[in-house]
Amino acid sequence: MTLVTILLMAMITFLTRYLFIHPKIPLRLNAKVVSFLSFSAPAVLTAIWVPIIFIREGELALSLTNPYIIAATVAVLLASKKVNIYLILLTSGALFITLKMLY
């Protein structure tokens, strides 16, 4: 059953992408829909990272001893300064691992 579900989801995902990519299919989105869809990626990414950073053991964890918040703050600050993405990943990742070992 799981394999069937995975295959069906893969097929649905492929077909929904294919409809908009194939040049012979006359299906185009209007400007309002394109504008609306531009918010989907940030919304999904926010739904992924917010619980990871701010929730510990089912509760809101807003403290300076939370290594997730500290490393995420450093990553955001570096990104706002237009620093190289690899440097951001290396710095915030190393900081997170160091803080995780300390706490």
For the stretch 48-98, pLDDT in tens is: 999 999 998 889 999 988 999 999 999 999 999 998 999 999 999 999 999
Q: Render pLDDT for 14-51 as a digit per residue (tens, 0 to 9).
A: 988 887 777 777 777 788 988 888 898 899 999 999 99
Between CA 53 and CA 67 the distance in angstroms is 9
Give yes or no: residues 43 and 78 share one domain.
yes
Between CA 62 and CA 65 the distance in angstroms is 8
Give yes or no: residues 21 and 57 share one domain.
no
Look at the chain and report how many structural domains it folds into: 2
Residue 56 forms beta bridges with which residues? 59
Give yes or no: residues 52 and 19 share one domain.
no
Between CA 3 and CA 10 the distance in angstroms is 11
Between CA 21 and CA 39 the distance in angstroms is 20
pTM of the entire structure? Answer: 0.65
Note down the domain range covering 52. Answer: 39-103
Residue 53 forms beta bridges with which residues? none
Give yes or no: residues 43 and 27 share one domain.
no
